[in-house]
Amino acid sequence: MLGLRDLGPERLESILDRAESLLPVVRDGVALPNPVRPAMVGLLFLENSTRTRCSFEVAANRLGHRSVVLTGLGSSLDKGESLIDTAANLAAMGLDALVIRSAIAGGADLVARNIGIPVVNAGDGRHEHPTQALLDASTLRARLGSLAGKRILIVGDILNSRVARSNIHALTAMGATVVLVGPPPLLPWTFAEFGSGVDVTHDLDGVLDTADAVMMLRIQLERDAGRAVASDYRFAFGLTVNRLARLGPEVPILHPGPMNRGVEIDDSVSADIARSAILEQVARGVAVRMAIIEAALELPAG
Ligand code: NCD
């Protein structure tokens, strides 16, 4: 699972269906009916992470597997060892699959082509974050039913967001229109890779009334995006209480986290019990990652 670019609607729906059936394991601790042979899942996390890393670990554990974690800090990457050498050494320890997050766009793909075990992309630079988009799609499907014909707003730093890119692939494949909203410096200048189903605007207030769902994104300060943003960002692009009031009672609010409260989202918006789907996303993330680990381990090694 390296990206969602080439995944058709049937494959996407089948992953989401499997995740849905695993949700009781996550929510209620229901035991899996058929315990599997325990596997060893490696987690190589070379960028900061709270949700994604713990979610993969919980998912592996819930499936009855074990995990081993290596983060950048304290690893031999600091001594100049390459990403491929690092991953190859982990694979040589007999891991059954490797989950990788790195700042390099294409990093997971590079590793997958150089080691003989299944690789799952947990975020590669500005490129893709497939399991995040799958958990977003799972949450949207649960709230909205079929995504066909739905308008999903993605608001914020689109240019630097792997979450936005993976979501565009997944949501348009499932029949939704994705409306990308942000200041000009934070929107990509070409959309050729996405095909149809993508609208672009700089005017959040102009499209708010048309939204079936709203996904807010953080400004990727670690990728230098902060330089492109004015200090009054919140007034143009923040999901404020006033903007929330313009959304229907059924319109879910999503955010992949980490949130910067008071910048892209107000406190009382994320706390809106009916509309905020933010913690539901997190719960569904474990189920989605269980489905992805399960599928990865079905692949023959080598
Ligand atoms: C996202 C990421 O790391 O790409 N977070 C996540 O995985 N939940 C989004 C972000 O960092 O803004």
Buried-exposed string 53-63: b where 16+ CB fall within 10 A, e elsewhere: bebbbbbbebb
Our answer on whether the CB atom of 101 is closer than 6 Å to any ligand 1 atom is no
The DSSP 8-state label assigned to residue 99 in this structure reads: E
Least confidently predicted of 57-66, 124-133, 184-193: 184-193
**Which residue's structure tokens are 């400004």?**
219
- Dihedral Cα 142, 144, 148, 152, nearest 10 deg: -110
How does DSSP assign 230-242, residue by residue?
A: -TTHHHHH-B-HH
How many helices (H) does the chain have, and how many strands (E)? 11, 9
Our answer on whether the CB atom of 130 is closer than 6 Å to any ligand 1 atom is no
Res. 222 pLDDT band, cuts 50 70 90: confident
Mean local confidence (pLDDT), 187-211:
91
pLDDT in tens, 72-87: 888 998 889 999 999 9
| Mean pLDDT, rounded, of the chain | 94
Question: Taking the model in full, what pTM does it have?
Answer: 0.96
Confidence check: pLDDT of 127 > 80:
yes
Closest atom, ligand 1, to C-alpha of 162: 4
pLDDT computed for residue 140 by the predictor: 98
Compute, in angstroms, the gap from residue 302 CA to the centroid of ligand 1. Answer: 31
pLDDT computed for residue 82 by the predictor: 94
Which of 237, 268, 274, 267 has its CA nearest to residue 252? 274
Compute, in angstroms, the gap from residue 258 CA to the centroid of ligand 1. Answer: 7
Compute, in angstroms, the gap from residue 257 CA to the centroid of ligand 1. Answer: 6
pLDDT in tens, 227-260: 777 778 999 999 999 999 999 999 999 999 999 9
Q: Which two tokens stand for residue 160?
A: 């630097």
Residue 38 CB neighbours (<10 A): 12
Q: Which two tokens stand for residue 273?
A: 């019990």
pLDDT computed for residue 154 by the predictor: 98
User: Considering just the CA atoms, what is the radius of gyration of the chain in Å?
Assistant: 19
The DSSP 8-state label assigned to residue 30 in this structure reads: P
**Which residue's structure tokens are 């348009």?**
172
pLDDT computed for residue 66 by the predictor: 96
Compute, in angstroms, the gap from residue 37 CA to the centroid of ligand 1. Answer: 31
pLDDT computed for residue 196 by the predictor: 86
Pocket test for ligand 1, best of 131, 158, 163 (most atoms within 8 A of CB): 163
pLDDT in tens, 35-50: 688 999 999 999 999 9
Our answer on whether the CB atom of 123 is closer than 6 Å to any ligand 1 atom is yes
Compute, in angstroms, the gap from residue 135 CA to the centroid of ligand 1. Answer: 12
pLDDT computed for residue 302 by the predictor: 44
- Dihedral Cα 288, 289, 295, 297, nearest 10 deg: -160
| Gap between the terminal Cα atoms of the chain | 16
Residue 42's beta-bridge partner residues? 68, 98
Compute, in angstroms, the gap from residue 33 CA to the centroid of ligand 1. Answer: 32
Confidence check: pLDDT of 300 > 70:
no
Pocket test for ligand 1, best of 47, 55, 124, 132 (most atoms within 8 A of CB): 132
Share of the chain above pLDDT 70, in %: 98
Our answer on whether the CB atom of 162 is closer than 6 Å to any ligand 1 atom is yes
Compute, in angstroms, the gap from residue 50 CA to the centroid of ligand 1. Answer: 9
pLDDT computed for residue 299 by the predictor: 64
Compute, in angstroms, the gap from residue 226 CA to the centroid of ligand 1. Answer: 16
Res. 8 pLDDT band, cuts 50 70 90: very high
Closest atom, ligand 1, to C-alpha of 257: 8
**Max alpha carbon distance in the chain (Å)?**
55
Do you know the residue count of the chain? 302
Confidence check: pLDDT of 57 > 80:
yes
